[in-house]
Structure 1
Amino acid sequence: MMKKLMVCGTLASIATLTGCLGSDDDNDTASAVQKDVAIQFAGEVNGQPFSCADTYAGLGTNNSSAVLTDFRLYLNNVNLIDAEGNKHPVTLKNDGAWQTDEVVLLDFETGDGSCTSGTAATNMLVSGTVAEGDYTGIEFNVGVPGQTNHQDSTAAPSPLNISGLFWRWQSGYKHARIDLKLDTPYDYTDSSGAAKTGTSWFLHLGSTDCSGDPTLGETVTCGNPNRPTITLNDFNIEANKVIVDYGKLIATTNLSTPTPGPFGCMSGATDADCVEVFKNLGITGDQTLFGKGSL
């Protein structure tokens, strides 16, 4: 220790000496101490707990009634925010099922009732470690991060190996998939001009306007990444959970009169059914999908 002080003393300045002493290894170690965190999420529809067994009324601008057939979404880049506004990254725990070290899959559907295309297992938790401290907010991105989005999903680790959450190599993953089936059918005309009826309304959020062939080792760039950043202030992970309310997401959309094209929002830049959804996702407006609830 004396040798360390003598070296610092040669800098001929009390201020410099003070700064040198302030870089003691003990302080560095203390600042790097990590703690376990578990951030809870809950799926809801207009303030009601989500269930594959329930029918929900009052959906969208036309007060539609429907059951949800899927309710899954990926998250990445999770940070906790301190009182000064500084962001502290949450290091995700790779559990071999719901989380890699880059991405988390939230899965609210239970594979029964109206959700027969899903699985019985669910996940409503983000777990990891973060630097010791007091936090007053949370931030995360919806979706699969760019460096991971374009790959062979059949060879990817869980939860990136689910075929129902993948489009194709270039477009990548469905960052979110929330689908419903309406009680009252709607009329539409298909591409051949034939009159038909339908009941499905899909939300498949993903990156679009992508170029580059990842199968040839090319870098893929997407004009519309569609990975909104969500920030919730006044959020205490020990007292609060993140609410994901689908009813609020589609509150300003008419579900009973789909626009021409895919039934619902498939993330296309000209998809009229995405206009209000993208606003409420935080892509083009103020998000309403995510909120705060009490544990």
Structure 2
Amino acid sequence: MLITPLRTRTGVLLPCFALLAVAACSSEPGQDDEVGDTMADSETSMSTEGDTSDDTSTGTEVIQVTLNFGASVGDQPAACGQSYTGLGSQGSTVEIQDLRYYVSEIELLDAQGNATPLTLDQDGLWQYADVALLDFEDGTAACQEAGTAELNNSVVGSVPDGDYTGVRFILGVPFDLNHQDLAAAPSPLSVPSMFWVWQGGHKFVRLDLRNDNPDDNAWFWHLGSTGCTSDGPEAPPEAPCVRPNRLAVELPEFDWSAQTIVMDVGMLLEGVDVSQNTPMTAPGCMSAPDDPECMELFPKIGLGLTTGECATDCSDQQVFRVE
């Protein structure tokens, strides 16, 4: 499956669902405010795949690359307006209400494993510094309440010309950019529905599902740092959080010019009961170390729930693959 990259303008984003606090140090706010006029008024002109230029300081030719990202539920594309059956431990039927995630610190790898950082285009919309937001909801069907029409499934940047055979990136936002004043943050770090509070920082992943349980049909996965200590919820931490929950993804066999990096929601939720939620807790998994809904999910992404770190080298993650 090859997903054609689509880079568009983004507009006003949405309020988030009200969630119960799951931990004092990492609880989500009652709801997200609507984003103001934080997006740039015009999109920066983008270089196309295959464009080249010279780094005059080194004489090395620089190439422009586009990394394509996708999302699936098993072998089906993840999209608003679709019902997916047989999901999780109970074989539930679900619809997607939201699906977005941040990637950062992207590197291309050669056959020897040497890494070359990808310098991201600063487009004022989807990319800032070395962080990019991927957005797979289009504001239709079940995504109407919590979505926008704009989509983004590619990251554009430049690297010195070379023979690259793999890719490595972080699922998440670096600490130094994770706990900013949302009102002053540059896009795409200014999206309220992808943010908890200053103390907790951003939601690295937002996956909102609606299941077929008439009494309890909301199930969310919001990945972010927890155990963050500061003077209060609206104050940023001075030291890194106890559980950073940043996943290092390495795909050693990846042809950036022809293949797509896919997040598989079906694999993520394999063995996870998405048909109901533990009473008196936030819907789904909010990354708290004592959240029962996280205990089956976190091993799929290779992170320790109580440590927020990869138990080994993160190579046992099962969620991202190449197509």
Range into which the TM-score falls when normalised by the shorter chain: 0.7 to 0.9
Going from structure 1 to structure 2, the CA distance change for 1:257 and 1:112 (only over 3 Å counts) comes to: closer
CA offset digits 1:44-97 (Å, max 9, x no partner): 111101110100001111110010100000000000110011011001111010
**DSSP 3-state at the match of 1:79:** strand
Is residue 280 of structure 1 aligned with residue 309 of structure 2?
A: no
Going from structure 1 to structure 2, the CA distance change for 1:130 and 1:256 (only over 3 Å counts) comes to: same
Is residue 133 of structure 1 aligned with residue 152 of structure 2?
A: no
Partner of 2:278: 259
Partner of 1:146: 175
Per-residue deviation, 1:282: 2.1
Per-residue deviation, 1:258: 2.4
Matched-pair contact (CA < 8 Å) for 1:213–1:219: no
**DSSP 3-state at the match of 2:220:** strand
Partner of 1:209: 227
Letter paired with 2:248: T
Per-residue deviation, 1:213: 4.2
Partner of 1:184: 213
Partner of 1:115: 143
Letter paired with 2:125: A
Distance of 1:238 and 1:47 partners within structure 2: 22
Aligned pairs for 1:1-295 within 5 A: 29-30=58-59, 32-116=60-144, 117-185=146-214, 197-213=215-231, 219-260=238-279, 261-284=281-304, 286-293=316-323
**DSSP 3-state at the match of 1:247:** helix
Residues paired across the two proteins, number = 256
Letter paired with 2:121: K
CA offset digits 1:181-206 (Å, max 9, x no partner): 00133xxxxxxxxxxx3110000111
Letter paired with 1:52: C
Distance of 2:277 and 2:250 partners within structure 1: 30
Letter paired with 2:262: I
Per-residue deviation, 1:218: 5.7
Letter paired with 2:191: I
Matched-pair contact (CA < 8 Å) for 2:213–2:276: no
CA offset digits 1:145-166 (Å, max 9, x no partner): 1100001112111111111110
Going from structure 1 to structure 2, the CA distance change for 1:167 and 1:184 (only over 3 Å counts) comes to: same
Per-residue deviation, 1:29: 2.1
Q: Which runs of 4+ in 1 moved over 3 A?
A: 213-218
Distance of 1:216 and 1:289 partners within structure 2: 33
Distance of 2:106 and 2:84 partners within structure 1: 31
Distance of 2:237 and 2:172 partners within structure 1: 21
Partner of 1:23: none
Distance of 1:213 and 1:135 partners within structure 2: 45
Deviates more, 1:257-266 or 1:243-252: 257-266
Matched-pair contact (CA < 8 Å) for 2:301–2:319: yes
Distance of 1:250 and 1:217 partners within structure 2: 32
Distance of 2:94 and 2:81 partners within structure 1: 11
Matched-pair contact (CA < 8 Å) for 2:199–2:236: no
Letter paired with 1:287: Q
Letter paired with 2:166: G
Per-residue deviation, 1:227: 0.6
Distance of 2:273 and 2:122 partners within structure 1: 40
Larger radius of gyration: 1
**DSSP 3-state at the match of 1:154:** helix
For normalisation by structure 2, the TM-score amounts to 0.76
Matched-pair contact (CA < 8 Å) for 1:212–1:221: no
Aligned-residue sequence identity (percent) comes to: 42
| Higher share in helix | 1
Matched-pair contact (CA < 8 Å) for 1:213–1:220: no
Q: CA RMSD in A?
A: 1.9
For normalisation by structure 1, the TM-score amounts to 0.83
Distance of 1:184 and 1:217 partners within structure 2: 38
Distance of 2:259 and 2:235 partners within structure 1: 45
* Unmatched 5+ stretches in structure 1: 1-25, 186-196
Distance of 1:61 and 1:241 partners within structure 2: 28
Distance of 2:318 and 2:148 partners within structure 1: 27
Distance of 1:206 and 1:216 partners within structure 2: 17
